[in-house]
Structure 1
């Protein structure tokens, strides 16, 4: 799987303002709802919040990969953002986050969900990849860095 399979330029946002984990997830739900007419942003938000109740998707080193399966979702899709300032996210290492990749998967695609998460985890554990994303100055650079990095 390549990130270009699940990510588009309009779902890459560079240096946005973040206030709280909940508000970030709401913003990301809105972005996904606007990108896909069949997705209800409230359903996406509720699904992400339900997943967070099981345990934080903040994986450490300033990174979060919130993910969930949504009945209305027709294809695996993602949204990538960097934050202007760090936001507390209840991460496993206790550190706030500034780099977030949301993964939304069709409800029946459990194996694809796990497989895609594994690919994302590998990419986001690569310091060079994360540094390039954090150094992006605009949305286009963020998208370009995300899809061009090989690891």
Structure 2
């Protein structure tokens, strides 16, 4: 989703939970939100350089589910480097799927470490461009 509005970390996570709940019939938005907030209490998923990868395991999730978002304006996210975020990838995985959860996070972290990749995502003007840039990136 390209250029969505965000006000605060909590409201942003609530909006993302609603989007996921509406987009995937097996996900309950309240369960997703509660799971993401519980995960954030362990430590921020803001990894630095304006990027956050909120992630959690949800019982009713039956396959790895993700959503890439760019924000219209930066939002304070308690990131490790103290900088606000504008680029977010939400990752929801089945509760019992720890191995794939960790592996997927590693792949995402590697992709988001590439400045050219992040710049292309940030420059996307609509959902189609964002999707195109996300899937066409090569290392």
How far, CA to CA, are the matches of 2:84 and 2:103 in structure 1?
26
1:97-117 deviation digits (Å, cap 9, x = unpaired): 000000000001000000000
Most deviating of 28-37 and 94-103 = 28-37
- Offset, 1:37: 1.0
Secondary structure (helix, strand or coil) at the match of 2:119 reads helix
Most deviating of 123-132 and 31-40 = 31-40
- Offset, 1:150: 1.4
List structure 1 runs of 4+ shifted beyond 3 angstroms: none
1:66-112 deviation digits (Å, cap 9, x = unpaired): 00000000100101110111000000000000000000000010000
- Offset, 1:35: 1.3
Structure 2 gap ranges (5+): none
How far, CA to CA, are the matches of 2:101 and 2:138 in structure 1?
21
- Offset, 1:143: 0.7
Structure 1 gap ranges (5+): 1-12
- Offset, 1:17: 1.1
1:117-144 deviation digits (Å, cap 9, x = unpaired): 0000000000000000000000110011
- Offset, 1:57: 0.2
